[in-house]
Amino acid sequence: MEKQTSNHEQSTPGRLKESTPTIRWLAIAALLSISYLSYWRDSAYLASHLEQETKEFSWEQLVPSETLDWVACYEKFQCTRLSVPLDYANPNGSKAAVAVIRYPSKYPVGHEKWRGPILYNPGGPGGSGVGFLTGKGIVEGFYKVIGDDYDHVSFDPRGIAHTTPVADIFSTPAERVTWSLREGPLVNSTPDALSVLYAQSVIIGKLGEERLQDVAQHVSTAVVARDMLSITRAYGREKLLYWGFSYGTVLGITYASMFPDNVERLIVDGVVDTYNYYQAAWSNNLLDTDKILSYVFKECAASSSCPLHASTASGVEKRFWAILDSVRTNPLPVVDENNYGVLDWDMTWKALFFRLYRPFTGLPPFFAALADLEKGDGKAMYRLAKSPDTSFECKCDGKRVLPSPYNIETLLPIACSDGDDVSGEDIPALENFFEEMSKLSIFANAWMRLHTGCVGWRIRPAERYSGPFVGNTSFPLLFIGNTADPVTPLWAANKMSKGFRDAALLTQNSPGHCSLSSTSLCTAQHVRAYFRDGKLPSNGTVCETSDHIFLPDNSTGSVDVEKLSMEDRELYEAMSGLSSSFEPPRLG
């Protein structure tokens, strides 16, 4: 449901840089001959177009097979399409082709030093593993933090991105965008907003039934768990190595419950209350959300570099709300070259909510924009908060354009297939639901789309695993939770860890979604030791982060890297690189 930041657009698979060597060579050859014939400006224009074309790796050219036949892709990666049963209960029936990508170990598969494939899931549901792993700086980070002797692997889950069959509800980008621009106001902004949201959910549900019935039955998390085992087996192994974030914890926990004997290492990071998820409830995610605001107000008071600095946290808080309230009463016209529109409270509020996922990188610019707004200048805030859909340009060439990651269109078919059937709920029930959730967090209004979305959804899955989420796993699981995660509260990590024999819970003392939303050398050491040496942190271990949202005046800097051992310094720098590249997944 995130549309506000431009940052995550960089990891949109369709925009990734890649090319097979041959195509790239042809592109360079073509470019040389063109620039020879034309003015510089024209050739630069053409160059950018050529680049656009070579950026799209054509997955369709790969013939799906039951073995991993790797082909060079996305510059430094290898890709393959794994053929699996569309429905595992009918292995001789139709097939699905799972798009799998790897950054290979420096040792070939089978070499005595090769340690196996680690699979990653970036969350969502609906996040593309291909888009995630090829995101700038991500795989390099995993390579350094965990090791260059593993294959680092990800895949597009059922229905998503390059895995076929696809579960796109909208058939063209224009259709998708015009729908998203009709999105109603936040549920408590107008008296009829909740009814509008409900009605829209019914529409999406009906479109799903008309357009996706055959595909959407086969995208549930249980099926994706089976696909992960299929990928592991295609490698000739029986036990999974895995690091899953956000919704990736639902996937990891489901896998561990279905296949407890097939676990070699399994980390779940940013843990969802999996029981609540499978009820399609989405009701207890926001337990810790508001703590992040208190945290940032405190940091702002301790730092004169904070744009809303005041001598006390409550002084900062006052200033903060005064500015936000002013947009509520006085929406602002903004004209900033091609960026123009009305800056209103709804969009500002949603931008704030999504920035809580990555407070260390997301909140400083937000606070700077608030300070501008205080002076009557809404340009920076408008840029932050506007939906990229407002600057949509239709290419209209009939080519499929991937839905942006983590939007409601890719989320609902998976989340609502997994969830209990809640399609009987009516508007008074939803009003009640909102009232209850509002007791947990002031951001309940930004979270209503999820449960309400499933109220409109009626397709049921062919296979569903709905618990219990317990297991005596062949290797103990590692649970990681942050003290102030906006959508996966620490409480849930604690709850879920109790179901698995000898599982450990590592707490990272930081705000933000998933451990990688800030840098912690301590977390990096534990993750590395877990994968490489099979060592679990003692249960109850707490790791500190070295990052600040606003650097306190009394601080001498973050971490004194000079004081670290060579090994720790390298690990710290690798982790710092990884966390600065990491775009926390949009749960919901």
Ligand X SMILES: *[C@@H]1O[C@H](CO)[C@@H](O)[C@H](O)[C@H]1NC(C)=O
Token pair for residue 387? 């939906």
Q: Binding string to ligand X for residues 429 to 458, with x set by CB under 6 A, is what?
A: ------------------------------
Q: In whole angstroms, what is the distance from residue 450 CA to residue 418 CA? A: 13
Q: Minimal distance in Å, beta carbon 562 to ligand X?
A: 17
Hey, which residues between 294 and 353 contact ligand X (CB under 6 A)?
Answer: 302
Q: Minimal distance in Å, beta carbon 526 to ligand X?
A: 14
Sheet with 95-103, edge to edge strand ranges: 71-73, 77-85, 95-103, 151-155, 117-121, 240-245, 263-269, 478-484, 504-511, 542-544
Token pair for residue 394? 């239709």
Comparison of 325 and 553: residue with beta carbon closer to ligand X: 553
Which helix (DSSP H) or strand (DSSP E) does residue 484 occupy? strand 478-484
Interface segment toward ligand X; rule CB under 6 A; list 120-128, 152-160, 271-279, 496-504: 496-504
Hey, which residues between 130 and 149 contact ligand X (CB under 6 A)?
Answer: none
Q: Minimal distance in Å, beta carbon 260 to ligand X?
A: 7
Taking CB under 6 A as the criterion, the residue among 552, 561, 569, 570 binding ligand X is 552
Q: Minimal distance in Å, beta carbon 552 to ligand X?
A: 5
Comparison of 91 and 137: residue with beta carbon closer to ligand X: 91
Comparison of 388 and 552: residue with beta carbon closer to ligand X: 552
Q: Minimal distance in Å, beta carbon 92 to ligand X?
A: 4
Comparison of 311 and 330: residue with beta carbon closer to ligand X: 311
Q: Minimal distance in Å, beta carbon 505 to ligand X?
A: 5
Comparison of 251 and 302: residue with beta carbon closer to ligand X: 302
Size, binding site for ligand X by CB under 6 A? 16
Interface segment toward ligand X; rule CB under 6 A; list 106-114, 465-473, 485-493, 522-530: 465-473
Comparison of 534 and 540: residue with beta carbon closer to ligand X: 540
Q: Minimal distance in Å, beta carbon 309 to ligand X?
A: 13
Taking CB under 6 A as the criterion, the residue among 324, 470, 551, 564 binding ligand X is 470
Taking CB under 6 A as the criterion, the residue among 139, 215, 505, 587 binding ligand X is 505
Residues 6+ positions from 74 with CB-CB distance below 8 Å: 16, 17, 18, 57, 101, 130, 134
Q: Binding string to ligand X for residues 17 to 56, with x set by CB under 6 A, is what?
A: ----------------------------------------
Q: In whole angstroms, what is the distance from residue 34 CA to residue 28 CA? A: 10
Query: Quick check: 472 binds ligand X (CB under 6 A)?
Result: yes
Residues 6+ positions from 24 with CB-CB distance below 8 Å: 54
Q: Which of 236, 6, 2 is nearest to 109 (CA)?
A: 236
Residues 6+ positions from 50 with CB-CB distance below 8 Å: 27, 30, 31
Comparison of 49 and 563: residue with beta carbon closer to ligand X: 563
Distances in whole angstroms, Cα of residue 472 to Cα of each of 262, 372, 397, 532: 11, 55, 52, 21
Q: In whole angstroms, what is the distance from residue 422 CA to residue 455 CA? A: 5
Counting beta carbons within 10 angstroms of the beta carbon of residue 397, is it exposed (0 to 12), middle (13 to 18) or buried (19 or more)?
exposed
Cβ proximity of 149 and 113 under 8 Å: yes
In sequence order, the β-bridge partners of residue 424 are none
Interface segment toward ligand X; rule CB under 6 A; list 37-45, 107-115, 222-230, 548-556: 548-556
Comparison of 415 and 477: residue with beta carbon closer to ligand X: 477
In the three-class reduction of DSSP (H, G, I as helix; E, B as strand; rest coil), residue 469 is classed as coil
Query: Quick check: 540 binds ligand X (CB under 6 A)?
Result: yes
Q: Minimal distance in Å, beta carbon 462 to ligand X?
A: 15
Interface segment toward ligand X; rule CB under 6 A; list 215-223, 344-352, 360-368, 492-500: 492-500
Interface segment toward ligand X; rule CB under 6 A; list 47-55, 175-183, 421-429, 468-476: 468-476
Interface segment toward ligand X; rule CB under 6 A; list 196-204, 238-246, 247-255, 498-506: 498-506
Taking CB under 6 A as the criterion, the residue among 276, 494, 509, 580 binding ligand X is 494
Sign of CA dihedral 305, 306, 309, 313: negative
Comparison of 92 and 329: residue with beta carbon closer to ligand X: 92
Sign of CA dihedral 127, 516, 381, 354: positive
Sign of CA dihedral 404, 407, 410, 411: positive
Query: Quick check: 471 binds ligand X (CB under 6 A)?
Result: yes
Cβ proximity of 103 and 44 under 8 Å: no
Query: Quick check: 251 binds ligand X (CB under 6 A)?
Result: no
Query: Quick check: 539 binds ligand X (CB under 6 A)?
Result: yes
Residues 6+ positions from 13 with CB-CB distance below 8 Å: 128, 130, 131, 134, 161, 162, 402, 405
Sign of CA dihedral 235, 240, 243, 249: positive
Taking CB under 6 A as the criterion, the residue among 554, 563, 565, 566 binding ligand X is 554
Which helix (DSSP H) or strand (DSSP E) does residue 536 occupy? none
Query: Quick check: 178 binds ligand X (CB under 6 A)?
Result: no
Comparison of 99 and 504: residue with beta carbon closer to ligand X: 504
Comparison of 331 and 552: residue with beta carbon closer to ligand X: 552
Interface segment toward ligand X; rule CB under 6 A; list 36-44, 196-204, 464-472, 559-567: 464-472
Taking CB under 6 A as the criterion, the residue among 15, 91, 188, 214 binding ligand X is 91
Which amino acid, one-letter code, is at 530?
Answer: Y
In the three-class reduction of DSSP (H, G, I as helix; E, B as strand; rest coil), residue 71 is classed as strand
Q: Which of 224, 219, 121, 227 is nearest to 169 (CA)?
A: 219
Query: Quick check: 85 binds ligand X (CB under 6 A)?
Result: no
Phi, psi of 102 (to 5 degrees): -140, 155
Comparison of 166 and 300: residue with beta carbon closer to ligand X: 300
CB atoms within 10 A of CB 538: 8
Q: Which residues bind ligand X (CB under 6 A)?
A: 91-92, 302, 470-472, 494, 497-498, 501, 505, 539-540, 552, 554-555
